């Protein structure tokens, strides 16, 4: 297949682009490098530096080639930041995605795989966990809302233009390419696991644990961590699944780990202490997010290879130890 990958210089997009290339597909990465890295674009992919907000440039670019599927990772994606910059998030994520959807329809790209999120679900009043794809949607952040807008836009594109899509609602992506080719590198980093790893390596001040008074057994938030290679596998399966109909899947391991349990896992894997201090809750954080991924398993045969949290953490730790400055490391 000829695959167009927006956000392919980013954390998840680069891992999926690599998996596509490993499976013999052709990849074109579109990325503005706002949070991504040119070094993360896998060898063999072609690259166009382009901001999806530039509708005409995007259209122009798509008239110059042919693609079978677009995988859409490019987005603003930080829950906490979206609460401080709500209109920016709502506007940017919706407009860039509509630009892409419109351009795909106009240029005969018939399939889109969309990076949706667990942040569609609130769970403030714990509805029965784990969360199914038809569980009530009630985003706790503008980020989550922006992704819901895009899901709805895709539904209209299917109805009106016959575009097929897969909305993949990832829970918390974690880990790194088991072969060590790629990893997670955000600057500044805001995600729990890479921060805990850097704190263990003594490369940053103590981790600030956002909220110790949540209605959970140890008072910290609970998340479902899914290895980035398992996510990549799910994308490949989703592409073949949408020949005749669109799908919406929740994607996680089906097991929750509290923030404190993640800290303990990093301590086991690294053999070092993770220095941390309690801090205020971060706005927009639901207390518990655990996925029910039965649907994708049943319909595509997908099953996560990494189910042990220490194994997931180990791949992230190994990459970070070798790349202490991320992609800027020698």
Ligand X SMILES: NC(=O)c1ccc[n+]([C@@H]2O[C@H](COP(=O)([O-])OP(=O)(O)OC[C@H]3O[C@@H](n4cnc5c(N)ncnc54)[C@H](O)[C@@H]3O)[C@@H](O)[C@H]2O)c1
Is residue 163 within 8 A of residue 105, CB to CB? The reply is yes
* CA 137 – CA 283 distance, rounded (Å): 18
Residues facing 3 on adjacent strands: 27, 69
119 contacts ligand GDU (rule: CB under 6 A): yes
Residue 143 a catalytic site member: yes
172 contacts ligand GDU (rule: CB under 6 A): yes
Residue with Cβ nearer ligand GDU (109 or 120): 120
306 contacts ligand X (rule: CB under 6 A): no
94 to 6, 76, 187: CA distances (angstroms)? 14, 10, 23
| 188 cis-preceded (ω within 30 degrees of 0) | yes
52 contacts ligand X (rule: CB under 6 A): yes
195 contacts ligand GDU (rule: CB under 6 A): yes
CB of 68 to ligand GDU, least distance (A): 26
Residue with Cβ nearer ligand X (96 or 153): 96
Which residues, 142 to 171, sit near ligand GDU by CB under 6 A? 171
N-terminal to C-terminal alpha carbon distance within the chain:
34
User: Residues for the chain: how many in total?
Assistant: 330
Which residues, 65 to 124, sit near ligand X by CB under 6 A? 73-75, 77, 96, 115, 117
Q: Of residues 4, 5, 13, 259, which one binds ligand X by CB under 6 A?
A: 13
Question: Quick one: what does residue 33 bind among ligand X, ligand GDU, none, with the CB cut-off 5 to 8 Å set by partner type?
Answer: ligand X
- Smallest CA-to-CA distance from 44 within 67, 74, 15, 21 is with 21
229 contacts ligand GDU (rule: CB under 6 A): no
Residue with Cβ nearer ligand X (183 or 275): 183
Strands 172-174 and 164-170: unpaired
The beta strands (E) that lie in the chain are given as 2-6, 26-31, 46-49, 69-72, 111-117, 164-170, 172-174, 207-210, 222-223, 225-227, 247-251, 257-258, 276-279
* CA 170 – CA 115 distance, rounded (Å): 7
Q: Of residues 66, 208, 268, 322, which one binds ligand GDU by CB under 6 A?
A: 208
250 contacts ligand GDU (rule: CB under 6 A): no
* CA 29 – CA 330 distance, rounded (Å): 24
Residue of 143, 165, 170, 225 marked active site = 143
Q: Which residues bind ligand X (CB under 6 A)?
A: 6-7, 9-13, 31-36, 51-53, 73-75, 77, 96, 115, 117, 170, 172-173, 186
Q: Which residues bind ligand GDU (CB under 6 A)?
A: 77, 79, 117-119, 171-172, 190-192, 195, 207-210, 221, 223, 259, 282, 285, 289
């Amino acid at each position: 297949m000829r695959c167009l990958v927006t956000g392919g210089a980013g954390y998840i997009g680069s891992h999926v682009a690599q998996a596509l290339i490993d499976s013999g597909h052709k990849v074109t990465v579109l990325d503005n490098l706002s949070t991504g890295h040119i070094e993360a674009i896998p060898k063999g992919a072609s690259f166009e530096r382009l901001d999806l907000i530039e509708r005409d440039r995007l259209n122009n670019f798509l008239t110059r080639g042919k693609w079978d599927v677009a995988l859409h990772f490019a987005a603003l994606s930080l829950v906490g930041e979206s609460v401080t910059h709500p209109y920016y998030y709502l506007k940017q994520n919706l407009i860039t995605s509509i630009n892409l959807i419109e351009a795909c329809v106009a240029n005969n790209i018939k399939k889109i795989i969309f990076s949706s999120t667990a942040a569609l679900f609130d769970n403030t009043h714990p509805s029965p966990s784990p969360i199914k794809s038809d569980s009530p949607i009630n985003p706790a952040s503008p980020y989550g809302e922006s992704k819901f807008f895009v899901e709805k836009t895709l539904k209209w594109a299917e109805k009106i233009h016959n575009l097929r899509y897969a909305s993949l609602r990832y829970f918390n992506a974690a880990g790194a390419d088991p072969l060590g080719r790629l990893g997670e590198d955000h600057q500044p980093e805001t995600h729990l696991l890479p921060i805990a790893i850097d704190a263990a390596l003594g490369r940053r001040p103590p981790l600030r644990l956002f909220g110790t008074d949540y209605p959970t057994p140890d008072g910290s938030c609970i998340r479902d961590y899914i290895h980035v290679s398992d996510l990549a596998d799910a994308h490949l399966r989703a592409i073949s699944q949408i020949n005749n109909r669109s799908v919406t899947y929740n994607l996680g391991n089906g097991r929750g780990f509290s923030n404190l349990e993640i800290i303990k896992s990093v301590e086991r894997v690294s053999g070092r202490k993770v220095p941390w201090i309690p801090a205020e809750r971060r706005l927009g954080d639901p207390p518990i997010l655990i996925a029910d991924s039965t649907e994708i398993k049943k319909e595509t045969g997908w099953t996560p290879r990494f189910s042990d949290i220490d194994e997931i953490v180990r791949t992230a730790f190994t990459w970070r130890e070798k790349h202490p400055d991320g992609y800027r490391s020698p």
